[in-house]
Amino acid sequence: MPQTLRARALLLDMDGTLVDSTAVVEKLWLRWAEPHALEPQRVLDVVHGRQGHQSMAILLPARDHEINLRENREMLAAESADVDGVVEIPGADRFLAALQNAPHAVVTSADIALMTARMGAAGLRVPDLAITAESVSASKPDPEGFLLAAERLGVAPADCIVFEDSAAGIAAARAAGMRVIGVGAAAAAHSPDATVPDLTAVQVTVDADTGTVTLALN
Please give the sequence-ordered ranges of beta strands (E in DSSP) within 21-158, or none if there are none.
Answer: 87-88, 104-107, 130-131
CB atoms within 10 A of CB 35: 7
Angle between helix 52-59 and 40-47 (nearest 10): 140
**13 in catalytic set:** yes
What does the alpha-carbon distance between residue 83 and residue 104 come to, in Å, rounded to a whole number?
25
DSSP 122-143: TT-PPPS-EE-GGG-SS-TTSS
What does the alpha-carbon distance between residue 42 and residue 23 come to, in Å, rounded to a whole number?
16
Considering the candidates 15, 20, 111, 142, report the single residue annotated as catalytic: 15
**20 in catalytic set:** no
Residue pair 47/55 in contact (Cβ under 8 Å)? The answer is yes
What does the alpha-carbon distance between residue 64 and residue 87 come to, in Å, rounded to a whole number?
35
Considering the candidates 13, 111, 142, 165, report the single residue annotated as catalytic: 13
Angstrom distances, CA of residue 150 to CA of 11, 147, 160 = 8, 5, 7
Instruction: Indicate the SS3 state at residue 202.
Output: strand
Instruction: Indicate the SS3 state at residue 82.
Output: coil
For the annotated catalytic residues, the residue numbers are: 13, 15
